[in-house]
C-alpha cells in the first residue's frame, strides 16, 4: 500500500508525480527544486538562496507527516555546477546538525526550470536509531 503525501506549504508538483509517497515506515520524496510555494516560480538569488528554498520545501513536506530532518536516512543532491558544492554543503549541514543521513552528490547538465540545485530524500518514520552490526564472521 502507498499513501500520497501533499502539502500546500511546499510547491505543487509540476508534472505527473507526488511530493512524497509513504510505503510502510519509509517516505520517498520527489526531488525538490527551489520553487517558491506561493508563486510556483524559481526563487531569485544565488545558490545559497536556492539551496535554502529547497531545504525549506523539504522541511514542509516532512512536517506534513509529523517528521523532521532527524528522520531523513538518505539524500541525493543534484547540482548543475559542482563548484557550488562547498556552499551547498555548508547550508545542508545547518539543516542536518547531528547524525546526518547517507548522501550522494552528482553534477548534472540541467535541472527543471533552470534550477541550479535539486535534492531528493528518503525518510523513515518510527524507530530510526537502530545499530547495524557486522555479522560476517
Question: Residue ranges per domain, the chain?
Answer: 3-124
pLDDT (0 to 100) of residue 131: 55
The half-sphere exposure of 71 on its side-chain side, counting CA atoms within 13 A, is 21
d(C-alpha 59, C-alpha 61), whole Å = 6
Considering the four listed CATH numbers 3.90.1150.10, 1.10.10.10, 1.10.1060.10, 3.30.1330.40, the one that applies to the domain covering 3-124 is 3.30.1330.40
Please report, in tens digits, the pLDDT of each residue of the chain (137 residues total): 899 999 999 999 888 999 999 999 999 999 999 999 999 999 999 999 999 999 999 999 999 999 999 999 999 999 999 999 999 999 999 999 899 999 999 999 999 999 999 999 999 997 545 555 566 66
pLDDT (0 to 100) of residue 14: 82
Kindly write down the DSSP assignment for every residue of the chain, as one continuous string.
Answer: --EEE--TTSPPPSSSS-SEEEETTEEEEPPB-SB-TTT-SBPSS-HHHHHHHHHHHHHHHHHHTT--GGGEEEEEEEES-GGGHHHHHHHHHHH--SSPPEEEEEE-S--GGG-SEEEEEEEE-S---PPP-----
Amino acid at each position: 500500500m502507498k499513501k500520497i503525501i501533499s502539502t500546500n506549504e511546499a510547491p505543487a508538483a509540476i508534472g505527473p508525480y507526488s511530493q512524497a509517497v509513504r510505503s510502510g515506515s519509509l517516505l520517498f520524496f520527489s526531488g525538490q527544486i527551489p520553487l517558491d510555494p506561493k508563486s510556483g516560480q524559481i526563487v531569485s538569488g544565488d545558490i545559497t538562496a536556492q539551496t535554502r528554498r529547497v531545504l525549506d520545501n523539504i522541511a514542509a513536506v516532512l512536517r506534513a507527516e509529523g517528521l523532521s530532518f532527524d528522520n531523513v536516512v538518505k539524500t541525493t543532491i543534484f547540482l548543475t555546477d559542482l563548484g557550488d558544492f562547498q556552499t551547498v554543503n555548508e547550508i545542508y549541514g545547518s539543516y542536518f546538525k547531528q547524525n546526518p543521513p547517507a548522501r550522494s552528490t552528482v553534477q548534472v547538465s540541467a535541472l527543471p526550470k533552470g534550477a541550479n540545485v535539486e535534492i531528493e530524500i528518503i525518510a523513515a518514520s518510527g524507530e530510526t536509531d537502530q545499530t547495524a552490526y557486522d555479522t560476517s564472521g
